[in-house]
Amino acid sequence: MHPSQDPSGRLLLSGNEAVALSALHCGVALGTGYPGTPSTEILEGFSALGGKAQWAPNEKVAAEVALGAAFARARVLCTMKHVGLNVAADVLFTMTYSGVDGGYVLVVADDPGMASSQNEQDSRRYAEAAAAPMFEPADSQEAYDLLHTAFEVSERWQIPVLFRLTTRVSHSKSPVTPRFPLDALFPATGAPQPEFVRNIAGRVMVPGHAKPAHKRLRAKLADLQEWNEAEGPNRVERRSAALGVITSGISYHHVREAAPDASILKLGLSHPLPMKTLRDFASSVERCVVIEENDPWLATTCRAAGLAVEAKDDTIFRFGELNVDRVRRILAHDSSPEPEPPRGRPPELCAGCPHRSSFEVMKELDCIVSGDIGCYTLAALPPIAAMDMMIDMGAAVGMGLGLRHVLPRAQAKRVVSVIGDSTFLHGGLPGLVEMAYNPPETGHVLVILDNGTTAMTGQQEHPGTGRQLDGEATYQVSYEGMARAAGVTNVVTLNPIREKARFKELLAEALRKDELTVFIARSPCILAAGRIAAWEKERKAREAADAATPPCACDPDCGCGGPAGD
Amino acid sequence: MSATPISPINVRFAGLGGTGVIRASDIFADVAFRQGHTVKKAEVHGMSQRGGSVQSDVRFGAEVHSPMIPDGACDFLVVLEPTQVEVVRGGLRPGGVLLAPADIPAGKLPTSKALNVALLGRLSRHFDFPEQAWRASLRMHFNEKLHAANNQAFDLGRNS
């Protein structure tokens, strides 16, 4: 990270870079997560700055690794996109009960407008449903500052905290004045020394322990709500008494520009809401409007409490992100049809992408393709148009099996599940087990598209690449081994470009048989191929050097780990 | 353009993934920021390497609120790919400045990849940022082996 610096020492950072720098300055001992736009650059930035950061196979595992670290009194950061929180929801809903001993901040990046997502779900609902505090920074400076506050809150109330970013906070750059120099590695912040202290009643959430834990959680939230009223990171800006706006996150900046004279209540900690502050503000202005993206969560909550606030017209403004023009319309009660944004060119699979070959083969064989999430989802668009469904990470396998179970035989025989390497490890693995456990009568075919990287989000490493987040070598998962271990006997590995004719022949044969077949279509992402080849060369050179090193000639107690000499 | 503008100056970069939109906007934002302006910059990543339309907004001035340029409020529109000119033209305010590949003398680019740098050179004429600030930012944002070609491309845009 080499950010621009202005003459007064301010840095020009994206929201994600600001979180990464703040994590370093907060003394975060471990960052973990799963890549997902718009959250990906946080852990990459934290690692580049010298922090310990790692990719987990999915968000649930990441949130659990983080929980273990927080039980051990560490400060820990966990990052994911909004739909990733669905995967991690199981641990979220109970770790608020157990609470934590260290500081635990879970960054969730929402994508209003779906710049790169399959839905525009609103994570504020999770804060309320799971009873987790939620911070909402509006720009990079707030992302930097509020992360400090989030750790203070997490440690003071011993509770995991949600930190909600949105696409325009994560990916917009704005000035940041940091509290420490850019290169200050872990300045003294009073981060506690990790230590295990047994607390069975507090951490084993059997009903007998969870019942009092739930009561403790509600008491913590009540206490935190009082703190939020008195000294929370919320701000009232008094301007005109004719118009007041309640808002949070990036919407605050749109409001400042669209209605420069409006009074504003800007929320920084939006759960638990400071209801008295909201009530006082609403009654202090003639007209009070709630400006929020996506769900009418804030407006509904205010109205349920009897506050006289206006909400946006959700027949129009619930969809997509807000901007200055849309905020002007909301404030003017203008619900006329909005101008259509110009139609740009849609993205497509790169020329030379190995996925092209794979989908051409499936298209030629008239397959019904149960697909998944990654670059290859672009194969659903014309001119390839060879993917029939895509819903969530890992669903390719289960949906394909469901189709096979009920379709007439002739159609069932055409069904193929197609999933990328990282997505398979994230959510497809239990589907593979299901495939072997409850095989359809017609058998099934699973194609794992292994391009050696998490291409979609910008070429991150994963457990199948043999490299960790920072490129360090590690164990490498074998898809072939996993398929065989699950009980699948037909396992075929081939290169979909160089062996396209063979792929077509073997796939046609697999579709004819009433058996289970797993194909691993292996060819590197063309954007990552150079990097992968360089790494492979380095690894081989290192292995050759290791093989050439004579065994240690010292005694068995020297601790070098090598075989003892004579 | 001199001193610090009160309402922000809005500069939008547009093109297709892989044409250097993000890089060009990073360099422009860097130059403006180092001159002491408040800068905000907004774009959508994610699919930018897959050949689809890409835009990046840079706003600078004494005070900038939203990082996104309102409809029809671009003071400058820098388009890096000919097919995208008509797609994004509507973003320009009346009297705003459009810079497009056609503004760069054909066949004079050291490499077609340097079109974004040449258009930055052309854009630089409209601001009083010191020339060495642009050159320094170009050096910082590119591999050393591209510096000579970039200087040539920047000259082509700025001086021809």
Query: In the structure encoding, which two tokens stand for residue A504, read together?
Result: 């077509």
Q: Which of A415, A347, A344 is nearest to A376 (CA)?
A: A347
Partner residues linked to A473 by β-bridges: A467
Report DSSP letters for B35-80, one per residue: TT-EEEEEE--SSGGGT-EEEEEEEEES----SSPPTT-EEEEEES
Residues of chain B found within 8 Å of residue A6, distances taken between Cβ atoms: 33-37
- The fold of the A4-182+203-231 domain, in CATH, is Rossmann fold (3.40.50)
Mean pLDDT in residue range B61-65: 95
In this prediction, residue A552 carries a pLDDT of 53
Measured CA to CA, the distance from residue A431 to residue A446 in angstroms comes to: 10
Each residue of A51-78: b (16+ CB within 10 Å) or e?
bebbbbbbbbbbbbbbbebbbbbbbbbb
CATH 3.40.50.920 in chain A, residues? 235-331
Contact (CB, 8 A) for A14 and A41: yes
> Which of 3.30.930.10, 3.40.50.920, 3.40.50.1820, 3.30.365.10 would CATH assign to domain A235-331?
3.40.50.920
Interface test with A, best of B41, B44, B64, B80 (most A CBs within 10 A): B44
CATH 3.40.50.970 in chain A, residues? 4-182+203-231, 354-543
Looking up tokens 């969730």 gives A108
User: B66–A378: do the CB atoms touch at under 8 Å?
Assistant: no
Measured CA to CA, the distance from residue A314 to residue A527 in angstroms comes to: 41
Q: Cβ atoms within 10 A of the Cβ of A410, count?
A: 8
- The answer to whether the bond into A383 is cis (omega within 30° of 0) is yes
Q: Cβ atoms within 10 A of the Cβ of B85, count?
A: 17
For residue range B8-56, list pLDDT tens digits in order.
999 999 999 888 999 999 999 999 999 999 999 998 765 555 788 899 9
Measured CA to CA, the distance from residue B142 to residue B76 in angstroms comes to: 24
Alpha helix locations (H) across A158-296?
167-170, 200-203, 207-231, 251-258, 275-284
End-to-end Cα spacing for chain B: 20
Nearest CB to B40: which of A173, A254, A324?
Answer: A173
Asked if A459 reaches chain B (Cβ–Cβ under 8 Å), the answer is: no
Closest chain A residue to B60, measured at CA = A174
B146 to chain A, closest Cα gap in Å:
19
Measured CA to CA, the distance from residue B35 to residue B129 in angstroms comes to: 7
For residue A36, the surrounding DSSP H or E stretch is none
User: B41–A375: do the CB atoms touch at under 8 Å?
Assistant: no
Does the structural domain A354-543 have CATH classification 3.40.50.300? Answer: no
In this prediction, residue A562 carries a pLDDT of 47
pTM for the full predicted model:
0.94
Domains of chain B: 9-159 (3.40.920.10)
B119, amino acid identity: L
Instruction: Return the CA Rg of chain B.
Output: 15
pLDDT, one tens digit for every residue, chain A (566 residues):
678 999 999 999 999 999 999 999 999 999 999 999 999 999 999 999 999 999 999 999 999 999 999 999 999 999 999 999 999 999 999 999 999 999 999 999 999 999 889 999 999 999 999 999 999 999 999 999 999 999 999 999 999 999 999 999 999 999 999 998 876 666 656 677 899 999 999 999 999 999 999 999 999 999 999 999 999 999 999 999 999 999 999 999 999 999 999 999 999 999 999 999 999 999 999 999 999 999 999 999 999 999 999 999 999 999 999 999 999 999 999 999 998 888 888 888 998 999 999 999 999 999 999 999 999 999 999 999 999 999 999 999 999 999 999 999 999 999 999 999 999 999 999 999 999 999 999 999 999 999 999 999 999 999 999 999 999 999 999 999 999 999 999 999 999 999 999 999 999 999 999 999 999 999 999 999 998 899 888 888 888 888 887 655 555 555 454 444 43
A192 burial type by CB count under 10 A (0-12 exposed, 13-18 middle, 19+ buried): middle
Closest chain B residue to A112, measured at CA = B44
Looking up tokens 């996104």 gives B68
Asked if A284 reaches chain B (Cβ–Cβ under 8 Å), the answer is: no
* HSE, side-chain direction, 13 A CA sphere, residue B40: 26
In this prediction, residue A3 carries a pLDDT of 86
A229 burial type by CB count under 10 A (0-12 exposed, 13-18 middle, 19+ buried): middle
Confidence of residue B58 (pLDDT cuts 50, 70, 90): very high
Query: In the structure encoding, which two tokens stand for residue B49, read together?
Result: 């390497």
DSSP A454: B
Asked if A167 reaches chain B (Cβ–Cβ under 8 Å), the answer is: yes
Measured CA to CA, the distance from residue A463 to residue B13 in angstroms comes to: 37
User: B33–A6: do the CB atoms touch at under 8 Å?
Assistant: yes
